[in-house]
Amino acid sequence: MATTACFIIVSRNDIPIYEAEVGSTVKREDAAHLHQFILHAAQDIVQDLAWTTSAMFLKAIDRFNDLVVSVYVTAGHTRFMLLHDSRNDDGIKSFFQEVHELYIKTLLNPLYLPGSRITSSHFDTKVRALARKYL
Amino acid sequence: EMMGVTYFMLNHSRKEAEYCMENAFNTYLKNVPAGHQNATRCGLWWIEMLKARDQYKEAASVYFHISGEESLHSAVMLEQASYCYLYSKPPMLRKYGFHLVLSGNQYKKCDQIKHAIRTYQRAISVFKGTTWSYIKDHVHFHVGQWYAFLGLYDAAVVHMLEVLMCAHQSKTTQELFLKNFLHFVQKAGKACEVLKLPLPIINASSLKVVFEDHRTYASPAAIGVRESLWRSFEEEVIPSLPTARTNWLEVQSKPISRKRKESNVCIVGEAIQVDVEFKNPLQISIPLTNVSLICELFERSDEAQTDASTSSELQNNEHINLTAERLMNFDKSSFALSDVDCTLESGSTTMVKLTVTPREEGILNIVGVKWRLSGSVVGCYNFLTTTMKKTATRKKKQKRSFTDNLKFEVIKSLPKLEGLIHTLPEKVYAGELRHLTLELSNMSEAAVKNLKMKISHPRFLNIGKAEHLKDIVVRKDSPLSWPLWFHAAVPGNISLYIVLYYEIEDAESFMKYRTLRMFYNLEVLPAIDVSFQISPLPSTLQKFLVRMDVASRTSLEDFQIHQLSSLGSQWEISLIDTLFHPPLLMSAQAFTCFLMLKRCEKPKGSDEVSSLTPCIGGDVKLSPNDDGESLYDISLSPLSDFHNCERLHQEKPSQGDSDTVDFVLISRRVHSESGSGVSYSPCLLSNHACHCSISSSSPISWAVEGPREIHHNFSASFCEVSLRMTLYNSSDAVASLRVNTLDSNQSGFLLSDSSAVLPTNQEGWYNVSLESEIKVTSDVRGTILNSLSSESIRPIIWSGSSSTKLQLEPSSTVQIPLQVCIFCPGTYDLSNYVVQWNLQWPIDQGNEETRPNSGTCPGYPYYITVLPSS
C-alpha cells in the first residue's frame, strides 16, 4: 500500500476534473500543493509521450525525488495521473483500468458534460476503494 | 571528467562523452568527501555539453541533480533548470513554472526575498488562468506575503485579492488568507479606498427592484403578486389613455417625451427598494457592515449628456473608475440611502434589502452596491458593467433590458394613500360574518379625490354603497374609515385583491391618478354544513316537508343555530314541532330538523314585488326562546347582498327547475374553552343554500277537494257528491294525463262490522232498489246489508267519467270534476283512482333517458263520511 499517492484526472484541456489523495498517510496542506505542482509539471512530458505510443498505460514517465508519476491516457486524451512512491506497476495498471471503466460510465451519463468536474460521491467512493485494493 | 570534456571537444562519440561525465559526476557525489563543488563543476560542464547539442531537457535534469541541499546553491541551479526547460523544443512551460517555484522557495529559505519574488512573478505568467487551484493559491499567496514582507503592501493586496475566493481550501487556510488580506489592506492604508472585491458573491440576476409610481402597494404581500395579475385586475378602474389627439379646447398635457415613456418613474420622497442576493462561498462567516446602494442623481438638463455617454460603446473600465472616483466625493444630499449590517454565515445566501429615497427631481441611476468587509475594506459592485457585456452580445434590442430597471425619473412629490384593513383575521370559519374597517390615510399635503374601489371577490367582501366613494376627498389630517362587510363563503385558502383608484387634485402633475393595491391571504376553515331535502306533502299542492341536516365539520368549536329564513316567491316556514328546539351543535356532530314550508298566496296586484321579499313568516327561530335574541332581517344589506352573490355562485340544478327556494341559516359561535387559533369574537355565521328544488320525483301532483262529512237522507235518494281534483304539472314539458277512476279495489269500509264480503271486480250496471233492500235504521252501527251477499253491490261508485284525458302545460294547473254516488252511510276512502302521466319532451333536447317520461301514481287516501240525516 502506497504511503503517498495522489490521483488526478485531467481533461484534454489541462483542466483537472477530479482530484483525490488516496494514500494512507494523513493529508498535509503543503504536500497537497507539492503534489499538484509535480503532476502539473508532468503534463509536459505526457503531452509528448502520448503521441509516440498507442498503448494507454504509459508507466512511470517522470520522477521527483522519490515520487513517481505514472500516467494512463484514454482514447479521448483524458489523462489519469498518479503520483506515488511505490513500484507496483501491475497494481497501478489494474487500478488505472478499473478507474477507466468508472470514467466511461460517468461519460455515459447524458447529464454529465464531458470536461466538467466529476462531483459524484459514488465515483469518489469507488475510486478510493480501488486505490485501497490495488495500490 | 576530463575524458568527457575531450570527447566533447572532439565532437564524436556522444555517448561516450555522456557516460564519462555521468560517471564522474556520480563519483564526485558519492565517493569523494566534500566533493560537492567538484560535482557542481562537473555537472556544469556536462550541462554545457548537452546544451550545445540542444538537449535541454537532459540539461535541466542535471541541473536538478546538482541542486542538492544548500538553499542558495539549489535555488540558482533550479532556476537554471527552469530556463533549460523553457529552451527545450517544444518548450516545457509547466516544468519551467514548477522549477521557478521550487527555486523561489529556496531563495526564500536563504532570505533572498527579492529573488524569490522575481522567480515567482515569472511563474505567475505560466500559471495565469489555470484551474489548478492549489497551485494558483500557493503562488499568489506567497508572492503576496513576500511583498508584504518587503513593505510593498499595494502589490501584496493585489495578489491577496486573487486568493480570496478559496472555497476549496480548508477552513484554517481560508481564515489565514482572509486575515492576511485584511492585514495587508490595513497596512497599505487602503481601508478607505474602494476595491472591486470578489467576496461576497453578488448574484446580479437576483436583483429585484420595487418602486411605486402610479401603482402603490399597501403591504409587502401585495408586491409579491405578479404585475400582469394586477394589471388585468385594474383595467376597469383605470381610465384608458386617450389615443386620439385632444383638441385645443381641452387642456394640453405636457408632451410626453419618448425617454419618459421608457424609463421608470418614481416620486420624490418615496423609497425605491432594491433586493440583492449575497452569497458567502467560504466556510467562515463574514461580517458585512454599511451595505448600501451606489446611486447618482442628475438634474434633468443633464439628460442629453447621459444619453450620449450611455448609448455609445462605453469602455467598462472607464465606467468603473468613474464610479470609484465619484464615490469619494459624492453629493449625497439629493437622496437618502439605507444602511444595512449583516453577517453572512459560511455557505449561506442572504437577500439584502436596500432602499434609496430621492429628495430632488431629476434622473436617478442606481449604479451598484457597496459594502464594508470585516470592518476594514470597502468593496463595490457595479450593476451596469456586468450587464453591458450581456446586452452587447444580443443582436435584437430587448424591450426592457436589465439596466432599464435601474434608471428612474424622479418627479415631484405626489400624495400617496396608505390603506389598511384592520382586524382582517387570518383564519376564519366558513360562513362567518364580520364587520371590518378600511382605513385610508393621506400623509402628504395635497388631497386626493374621486376614489374608486374594486374587489376581486365580492362574494367575500362587500363594500356597501360604493357610489359614495366618488364624492370623498381625503386630506392630510382627515383619514377615511370605510366600513366593509366580510363573509367567508367557502372553506379553503382565499386571496383577496383590492385596488383603490384615486385622483390627485393638482392638475399640473404628470401623473393624474394612482392606484393602491392591497392583497390579503386568509384561510377559511370548514364550520357548518347544511343541506336541505324538500318533498311535497302528499295530497297537497302548496305544502312541502323540509328536512334540514346540519353538521358541524370542525372539532374545535360549538355553534348555536339561531334562525332559518327562506327567500323566494313568498314562502312561509315553520317548525313542525313548535316545542322542538335544535340542540347546541357540538363539535363534529350533526342533527336533523323537520320543517314545514308553505307557499303563501301572492297578494293581488303584486307584480312588482321582488321575488326576494319575504312574506311574514319567512323566518323561523330555532334557538331557545330564552336567549333574548330577536330575528335578523335578511332583506337588509349586507345579508341580502351576500345572498345575491351566493345565488350567482351556487349552481342551479341542471334540470332547470324554475321553482326553487333559498334558505339562509344563521348561527352563532359559542365560546369554547379550547384555543383554536381563530380570534374569538361573538360572531355570526350565515350559511346560504340556494336553488333548493321543491319538485318531487313525479312531476305531476294533485289534490282532491270536496266535502269530508255529509249528512244525507238516504230514504229519498242516494247521495251524490261532487269532488274537484286539481292537478299541477311541475315539469318543463307538456304532460298528457289520464285520470282513471276505478271501481275495482274498493278499499272503503262500512261502519258496520258485518261480515259481508264485498265483491271485487264487479263492474257494470245493476239494479239497485233502495227501499226494499236497504234498511236504514237510526242506529248506524247496526246497519246490515241484507240479501245482497249473493249479488252484492258497492255502496259507492264513481259516477263521473271513468277516464279523463287531458293535456297539461308546464307549470300549470287544471281542475277536473269527479263524482261519486254513495248508497249507504259510512266512511269511504276515495283512493281508488290512478293518474297516468306522460311527458312529451321537445325532440331537440338530448339526454332523455335521465328524465322521467311517464309514470303511474296511485291515488291518495281521501276519506269522506256520509251520515244519515235524521
**How many domains, in total, are found in chain A?**
1
Asked if residue B241 has pLDDT above 70, the reply is no
Residue B141 forms contact with A (CB below 8 Å): no
Give the C-alpha separation, B717 to B868, whole Å. 11
Give the C-alpha separation, B351 to B343, whole Å. 12
C-beta atoms of A43 and B134 within 8 A: no
Return the pLDDT at A121. 92
C-beta atoms of A36 and B101 within 8 A: no
Contact, A4 vs A83, CB < 8 A?
Answer: yes
The domains located in chain B, with CATH, are 1-188 (1.25.40.10), 417-525 (2.60.40.10), 527-601+617-622+659-670+681-692 (2.60.40), 696-744+793-869 (2.60.40.10)
C-alpha distance from residue B156 to each of B143, B176, B178, B193 (Å): 7, 14, 13, 15
DSSP label at B446? S
Query: Which residues does residue B584 pair with via DSSP β-bridges, in sequence order?
Result: none
Q: What are the tens digits of pLDDT across the range B276-298?
A: 888 888 888 888 888 888 888 88
Cis, bond preceding B624 (omega within 30 deg of 0): no
DSSP label at B471? G
Q: Which residues of A touch B93 (CB under 8 A)?
A: 44
Residue B92 forms contact with A (CB below 8 Å): yes
Cis, bond preceding B90 (omega within 30 deg of 0): yes
Residue B56 forms contact with A (CB below 8 Å): no
Nearest-CA neighbor of B19 among B32, B30, B3? B3
Q: Which three cell numbers stand for residue B341?
A: 449590517
The sign of the torsion formed by the CA atoms of B292, B293, B299, B302 equals: positive
Phi-psi region of B437 (alpha: psi -120 to 50; beta: other; left: phi over 0): beta
Closest-CA distance, B17 to chain A, in angstroms, reads: 24
Angle at B534 between CA B531 and CA B539, to 5 degrees: 165
Contact, B344 vs B282, CB < 8 A?
Answer: no
Return the pLDDT at B846. 53
Nearest-CA neighbor of B814 among B743, B742, B736? B736
C-beta atoms of A44 and B132 within 8 A: no
Return the pLDDT at B568. 64
Return the pLDDT at B793. 66
In terms of C-beta density within 10 A (0-12 exposed, 13-18 middle, 19 or more buried), how is residue B64 classed? Answer: buried
Closest-CA distance, B85 to chain A, in angstroms, reads: 10
Q: How confident is the model at residue A126 (pLDDT cuts 50, 70, 90)?
A: very high
Closest-CA distance, B80 to chain A, in angstroms, reads: 16
Contact, B305 vs B376, CB < 8 A?
Answer: no
- Adjacency order of strands within the sheet including B571-575: B528-536, B543-552, B590-599, B571-575
Q: How confident is the model at residue B319 (pLDDT cuts 50, 70, 90)?
A: very low
C-beta atoms of A29 and B173 within 8 A: yes
Q: How confident is the model at residue B404 (pLDDT cuts 50, 70, 90)?
A: low
In terms of C-beta density within 10 A (0-12 exposed, 13-18 middle, 19 or more buried), how is residue B446 classed? Answer: middle
Residue A45 forms contact with B (CB below 8 Å): yes
Give the C-alpha separation, B220 to B353, whole Å. 12
Q: Which residue has the higher pLDDT, B261 or B436?
A: B436
pTM of the predicted model as reported, rounded to 2 decimal places? 0.63
Q: What are the tens digits of pLDDT across the range B102-148?
A: 888 888 888 888 888 888 988 888 888 788 888 888 888 888 888 88
Cis, bond preceding B200 (omega within 30 deg of 0): yes
DSSP string for B266-329: EETT--EEEEEEEE--SSS-EEEEEEEEEEEEE-GGGHHHHHHHHHS---HHHHHHHHHHHHHT
Q: What is the CATH number of the domain that holds A14?
A: 3.30.450.70
Give the domain extent around A74: 5-134
Query: If residue B361 lies in a helix (H) or strand (E), which one and from where to where?
Result: none
Return the pLDDT at B312. 36
Give the closest of B97, B131, B134 to A32, CB-based.
B134
C-beta atoms of B131 and A16 within 8 A: yes
Give the C-alpha separation, B638 to B635, whole Å. 9
Phi-psi region of B810 (alpha: psi -120 to 50; beta: other; left: phi over 0): beta
Q: Which residues of B touch A48 (CB under 8 A)?
A: 90
Question: What mean pLDDT comes out for the span B412-427?
Answer: 82
Question: What mean pLDDT comes out for the span A34-62?
Answer: 87
Query: If residue A95 lies in a helix (H) or strand (E), which one and from where to where?
Result: helix A89-108
Q: Which three cell numbers stand for residue B842?
A: 321537445
Return the pLDDT at B749. 41
Return the pLDDT at A125. 93
Angle at B807 between CA B804 and CA B813, to 5 degrees: 95
Asked if residue B780 has pLDDT above 50, the reply is no
Q: What are the tens digits of pLDDT across the range B207-232?
A: 888 888 888 888 888 888 888 888 88
Percent of all residues in chain A with a pLDDT value above 90, rounded to a whole number: 34
Collapsed DSSP state (helix, strand, coil) of residue B395: coil
Percent of all residues in chain B with a pLDDT value above 90, rounded to a whole number: 0
C-beta atoms of A29 and B101 within 8 A: no
Q: What are the tens digits of pLDDT across the range B628-681?
A: 667 777 777 777 788 888 888 877 665 555 667 788 888 888 765 554 555 555
Give the closest of A15, A33, A44 to B134, CB-based.
A33
Residue B170 forms contact with A (CB below 8 Å): yes
Return the pLDDT at B293. 84
Q: Which residue has the higher pLDDT, B695 or B812?
A: B812
Query: How far from the centroid of its chain's Cα atoms is residue B317's Cα?
Result: 44
Asked if residue B786 has pLDDT above 70, the reply is no
Give the C-alpha separation, B304 to B299, whole Å. 11
Q: How confident is the model at residue B757 (pLDDT cuts 50, 70, 90)?
A: very low
Q: Which residues of A touch B135 (CB under 8 A)?
A: 33, 36-37, 40
Q: A18-32, B106-120, B156-170, B782-796: which has the highest mean pLDDT?
A: B106-120
C-beta atoms of A41 and B132 within 8 A: no
Asked if residue A103 has pLDDT above 90, the reply is yes
C-alpha distance from residue B868 to each of B495, B750, B788, B862, B864 (Å): 76, 13, 20, 20, 13
Residue A89 forms contact with B (CB below 8 Å): no
Give the C-alpha separation, B738 to B705, whole Å. 18
Return the pLDDT at B781. 40
Asked if residue B317 has pLDDT above 50, the reply is no
Return the pLDDT at A127. 92
Residue B95 forms contact with A (CB below 8 Å): yes
Asked if residue B235 has pLDDT above 90, the reply is no
Contact, B207 vs B352, CB < 8 A?
Answer: no
C-beta atoms of B95 and A32 within 8 A: no
Q: How confident is the model at residue A112 (pLDDT cuts 50, 70, 90)?
A: very high
Question: What mean pLDDT comes out for the span B556-566?
Answer: 81
Of all residues in chain B, the one with the smallest CA distance to A46 is B92
Lowest model confidence (mean pLDDT) among B312-316, B369-373, B522-526: B312-316
C-alpha distance from residue A122 to each of A118, A129, B263 (Å): 10, 11, 52
- Please report, as a single letter, which amino acid is at residue B420: L
Return the percent helix, strand and coil in chain A, to nearest 5.
Answer: 40, 25, 35
User: What number of C-beta contacts closer than 8 Å exist between A and B?
Assistant: 41
Q: Which three cell numbers stand for residue B356?
A: 434609496
Nearest-CA neighbor of B358 among B413, B318, B418? B413
Return the pLDDT at A124. 92
Return the pLDDT at B361. 83
Closest-CA distance, A55 to chain B, in angstroms, reads: 22
Give the C-alpha separation, B40 to B25, whole Å. 8
Q: What is the average pLDDT score of chain B?
A: 75
Q: Which residue has the higher pLDDT, B813 or B747?
A: B813
C-beta atoms of B98 and A29 within 8 A: no
Return the pLDDT at B601. 66
Q: Which residues of B touch A29 (CB under 8 A)?
A: 170, 173
Q: Which residue has the higher pLDDT, B18 or B390?
A: B18
Give the closest of B92, B130, B135 to A44, CB-based.
B92
Asked if residue B774 has pLDDT above 50, the reply is no
Residue A46 phi/psi, 5-degree rounding, is: -60, -40
Asked if residue B69 has pLDDT above 80, the reply is no
Q: Which residues of B touch A32 (CB under 8 A)?
A: 134
Nearest-CA neighbor of B432 among B483, B481, B485, B498? B485
Return the pLDDT at A71. 92
Q: B83-87, B474-478, B608-612, B728-732: which has the highest mean pLDDT?
A: B83-87
Asked if residue B603 has pLDDT above 60, the reply is no
Query: Which residues does residue B818 pair with via DSSP β-bridges, in sequence order?
Result: B723
Percent of all residues in chain B with a pLDDT value above 70, rounded to a whole number: 77
Give the C-alpha separation, B333 to B676, whole Å. 52
Nearest-CA neighbor of B590 among B532, B549, B551, B533? B551
Contact, B341 vs B158, CB < 8 A?
Answer: no
